[in-house]
A and B are shown apart, each in its own frame.
Chain A
Amino acid sequence: MRGPRTLSAAIVLVAGVAVTGCQASGSEEVTLTFLNPHAGAYEPVAEAFEQAHPGVSIELQSVPFEQMVEQTQARLSSGDTSIDIVSVDPPRLANMVQQGFLTEETDHLPEMEANVSQAAISSVTVDDRQWAYPLWTSDNFLFYNRTLLEEAGLPVPGPTSADRLTWEEVVDMSRSLVDAGDAQYGIGMDQVDRYYALQPLLESMGAGPGLEGPDGLTPAVDTEEWERFGQWYGGLYADGLAPRGVDPAQMVDLFRAGHSAFLLGGASAIGRIADGDFPGEWGIAPHPYFADGPIVTPTDSWAIGVSATSEHQEIARDFVQFATLDPQGAQLASSVNTLPPVQHEAFDEYVGYIQELAPEQTAHFGELFQEDTEHYARHRPTSAGYVQFESEMNNAFSDIRNGADPRRVLGSAQEALERQLDRLRELAAEAEGNER
């Protein structure tokens, strides 16, 4: 496996260099602008690319995560030619494609297939065509404060998939810790109120993903199962087992300071926790599931695309391919944020790196990640209406967390989504009519 993969990667790289060589010699300096929500993350890969391509410089424009959607929407919809490369959140891809923001990359499918998994390719596919290059993947884990658990005489969760706890067990432990005053909170979530983190819980409880129908434009968030989840989620906060009013950016710190016994968090939390002066010992356990339901874990992460309005698409594509499909490039692109790259060799390197960060805690990290990805990962729904869906649901989860009645919140979210998705269809039909 390794031989042909490396070979094709090398071909991609050489082809890239050859194309760039022609461009750089024929024309003067080129500056590529890369709009992304990951401050600092792409500096090493941009530097390596610049060194290999004299005359090309890459300007990294980083905006906060929350503003990425707005910035992309505002700048690409106005035909801004100053952006060449843009970070793409896979569930939003269909919407970006519908608006014509990205170049089609189907011609490069063979290179993708040689370097990344089919699951990763499917995350950048709309209507059987590819529109971006997958960079990272993701998974959530249950971080726990080992010292707190041991002192309270509670069992310490095991590290492998076979030791996976149920949410019922996690909630029981949290309750006994909070009731006894051993911990301020039981559970924090580094993506609290976000659909990404809650979809696995919903689906493990037997609920649907919330968007249904062949085109994914039929909302279904007021079902009995969704409501049951809403009651459970609101209950965590009403009972003081999880903190209200703490936003995602503050959650890892809450755990790191010893204020919460558990943290449902992604791999990027490992670096942050290992870095800090954690009071006592901590550990990593698999993502929990509900006792009566299936195991479901989250997946997918940011991809990178080439802007359809860029004036330097070829060289921009070379950079994107270098950062995603080239083993060394993908490794560099994942070195700052400690997010797992989808490129096969780079992923192995990444696991090694994570194990250096926290050797004890991550002994089973690699195999757990693989097992979750292969057997339990559930993609977010692919739909041109995902943007509407996600922003409405994130608000709904936040309202439920703050104590609003789940039935009422989900009912009005359902109505709002029906209205917004109807409107989306209407506008899309009109745009199509105009094109004709």
Chain B
Amino acid sequence: MTSVTARTEREVTRGRTRRSLVRRETWISAVVLLLPAVVLLLLLRIIPTVTAMAEAVPLGGERSPWSNFAYIFSDPSFLNSVWVTLLFSVIVNPIQIALALALAVLLTKHIPAVGLWRTFILLPIAVPQAVSAIIWLVMLRPDGPLNGLASAIGLPTVPWLTEPGWALISIVIVCSWVGVGYWMTFLVTGIKEIPSSLYEASALDGANGWRQFWSITLPGLRRPLLFVLVADTVSNFLVFAPVRILTQGGPQGGTDLLMHNISERAYTLGDTQAASAATLVLVAIVIVVVTIQFRMLPGKED
């Protein structure tokens, strides 16, 4: 009895050692493989976030820890910037996604030279943001080519960058010029993954293109659409270069998106505390909006 027990015990121990060896190896390789990502995450995300929080909430001084937030929320230029950013977001996201979707559907149909069109639509992505903004700066001048064209065909000229409302629309146009093609590629891939048999069967049942779009394409695109919606929203909250180059936040603060407002505070005025506080507000807004979007478009079926 005792010997048997002893042997089983020994076997169990040996097995345990082997298993723990295997487990340790798994751990080591996991750590080695994850280390670069974790280090980068720490360096590029976690540490800056903590630094921003420490900057924004000064502890141990004479001032209240919340004084930086009190300051920015009492500053009309910051409140205007929050308003402009939300307004921009409400306008630009639906436009970009609708256009990207329309183009994706169009370019997955059998139209001639489809590759060529896709390339043309994607081309703006290859142009650096700063370069494209400079080209637009000339295009949108009051006496620039766009207005020249408008007056040549008898249309009224537009105060593109010189009137607050139109300036925001100009930023929407410039961002969409770059963005639509990019987001379109995700939707094209999504459409290609929808089985063509569904379209064939529905065609036999007499469904027209419009019906197919609503009943097959759109439901089939739910996951890529959710991704595009969230990623596009986030990227549009972080728009900076076009504003910096085209309008510097003007006229009259009409295009002063939060990213630009923050950068002005930090790097022109040298007020990094208020800039950090404003950054945290921007992050909070993005998190709230993205959470709402996730709730509104649940991918439950998957």
Contact = CB atoms under 8 A, between A and B. Distances in A.
Interface stretch (A30-38, A80-88, A120-128, A402-410): A402-410
B158 to A, nearest CB: 11
Contact of A245 (B76, B141, B271, B272): B141
B142 A99 contact: no
A149 to B, nearest CB: 22
Contacts of A243: 142-143
Given A69-B267, A243-B142, A420-B269, A404 B252 contact: yes
Contact of B162 (A73, A387, A403): A403
Interface string B57-92: 010011100000001000111000000000000000
A426 B250 CA distance: 28
B8 to A, nearest CB: 65
A176 to B, nearest CB: 21
B250 A402 contact: yes
B25 interface: no
Interface stretch (A265-273, A302-310, A313-321, A427-435): A427-435
Interface string B158-177: 01111100000000000000
A8 B272 CA distance: 44
A77 interface: yes
Interface string B178-189: 000000000000
A77 B162 contact: no
Contacts of B160: 245
Interface string A41-77: 0000000000000000000000000000111011001
B277 to A, nearest CB: 12
A388 interface: yes
Given A395-B250, A430-B63, A387 B270 contact: yes
A299 to B, nearest CB: 24
A419 interface: yes
Given A402-B162, A402-B251, A391 B267 contact: no
B93 interface: no
B73 to A, nearest CB: 12
Given A244-B142, A433-B62, A391 B268 contact: yes
B282 interface: no
Interface in A367-419: 387-388, 391, 395, 398-399, 402-404, 409, 412, 415-416, 419
A423 B63 contact: no
A387 B142 contact: no
Contacts of B76: 412, 415-416
B216 to A, nearest CB: 47
Candidate in A99, A416, A427 with the most chain B CB atoms within 10 angstroms: A427
A361 interface: no
B248 interface: yes
Contacts of A387: 268-270
Interface residues of B, number: 35
Interface residues of A, number: 35
A398 B270 contact: no
B266 interface: yes
A244 B248 CA distance: 15
Q: Interface of chain B, helix or strand or loop or mixed?
A: loop
Contacts of A7: none
A430 B137 CA distance: 42
Contact of A69 (B71, B140, B251, B268): B268
Interface string B258-269: 000001101111
Nearest to B245: A66
A247 B137 CA distance: 9
A423 B70 CA distance: 12
Contacts of B272: 77
Given A404-B252, A433-B62, A391 B264 contact: yes
Interface string A172-197: 00000000000010000000000000
A154 interface: no
Interface in A240-267: 243-247
Contacts of A328: none
Nearest to B246: A247
B242 interface: no
A337 B75 CA distance: 41
Nearest to B71: A423
Contacts of B228: none
Contact of A77 (B62, B159, B163, B270): B270
A417 to B, nearest CB: 11
Given A402-B251, A403-B162, A430-B61, A245 B142 contact: yes
Given A243-B143, A419-B75, A427-B271, A395 B163 contact: no
A433 B267 contact: no
A419 B163 CA distance: 26
A246 B250 contact: no
A402 B268 contact: no
Interface in B224-267: 248-252, 263-264, 266-267
A95 B270 CA distance: 10
Nearest to A246: B141
B273 interface: yes
B142 A399 contact: no
Nearest to B256: A395
Given A70-B267, A398-B248, 20 more contacts: A69-B267, A71-B267, A74-B267, A77-B270, A77-B272, A243-B142, A244-B142, A245-B160, A247-B137, A388-B269, A395-B250, A399-B250, A402-B159, A402-B163, A402-B250, A404-B251, A404-B252, A423-B271, A430-B58, A430-B62
Interface of B: 58, 61-63, 71, 75-77, 137, 140-144, 159-163, 248-252, 263-264, 266-274
6 contacts: A73-B270, A246-B141, A399-B250, A416-B76, A416-B77, A427-B271
